[in-house]
Amino acid sequence: MLLSGIQKFSMLDFPGKTSCVVFTLWCNMRCSFCHNPDFVLPEWVKKQMWNLISEQAFFHFLESRKWLLEWVSICWGEPTLQKDLYSFCKKVKDMWFYVKLDTNGRNPEILQKLIEDNLLDYVAMDIKNPLGKFSEITWTQESENPYKESLATLLEGKIDYEFRTTVIKKFHSLENIIEIWKNIYWAKNYYLQNFRPGKTLDKNFEWEGFTEAELLHMKTRLQPYVKNIWIRT
């Protein structure tokens, strides 16, 4: 595993639960609003190769926090690109931690295998835009099929999950969010995750998130369509 960083303690990744967050290197998307270009763009990724955390150091850390931590969250870049993700999750599970995976949903086979083999306890999957309109945001030419497969796998409900969209005024009209929701009507949880300004992959990115009042308005308008919708600011 190419581990680019660890947040050693969090009560926010899973509100009310103790977790550590481990970050991976590399991603197969190029979202213009991405806050982590250092872990995504090839020229930066090369530099990060000198600063990686060894698996040995990570598991040593984890062993020392068994008394404190319940969850291990595996996050960006895109963890399913890591060729030894399976064995990594297995080691974490064998130590009796719960495992959360954040994914962009582009590798459905890997997601399915991890779920089938009980190596995940929770998945947070991004839905960047309505299916068929991903490339407006991800800067990659996309077929809808892998995302449909990942959505279907999670909608089966074998494990807990959430879908989430980072909402940006330029891209996410109410109609767009309704279009997203049409594919996930029975979802357990859907989060409108507000875009926060900061460092972005597109240096000229100038778009904004929503105000809290606008998000609440959006949530109210969506409620006839969307069952379990939440706001994350």
Q: Is 124 in the site for ligand SF4 (CB under 6 A)?
A: no
**100 contacts 72 by C-beta, under 8 angstroms:** yes
Nearer to ligand SF4, 21 or 31 (CB): 31
Q: How many residues bind ligand SF4 (CB under 6 A)?
A: 11
What is the residue type of 84? D
Q: How far is the CB of 29 from ligand SF4 (least distance, A)?
A: 4
Neighbours of 39 (CB within 10 A): 22
Task: Tell which one of 5, 77, 108, 130 touches ligand SF4 (CB under 6 A).
Answer: 77
Would you tell me how many other CB atoms lie within 10 Å of the CB of residue 197? 12
Select from 53-61, 73-81, 88-96, 175-183 the region that touches ligand SF4 (CB under 6 A): 73-81
Instruction: Say whether residue 30 binds ligand SF4 (CB under 6 A).
Output: yes
Pairing of strands 3-10, 122-126: unpaired
Give the x-and-dash track for 32-61 against ligand SF4 (CB under 6 A): --x-x---x---------------------
Quote the CA–CA distance of 161 and 184 in Å, as a whole number: 12
The rounded distance, in Å, linking the Cα atoms of 23 and 25 is 7
62 binds ligand SF4 (CB under 6 A): no
Nearest approach, Cβ of residue 170 and ligand SF4 (Å): 16
Give the side-chain half-sphere CA count within 13 A for 182: 9
Of 26 and 97, nearer to ligand SF4 (C-beta) is: 26
- How do strand 19-24 and strand 3-10 relate by DSSP bridges? antiparallel
- Chain residues that interact with ligand SF4, rule: CB under 6 A: 27, 29-31, 34, 36, 40, 76-78, 104
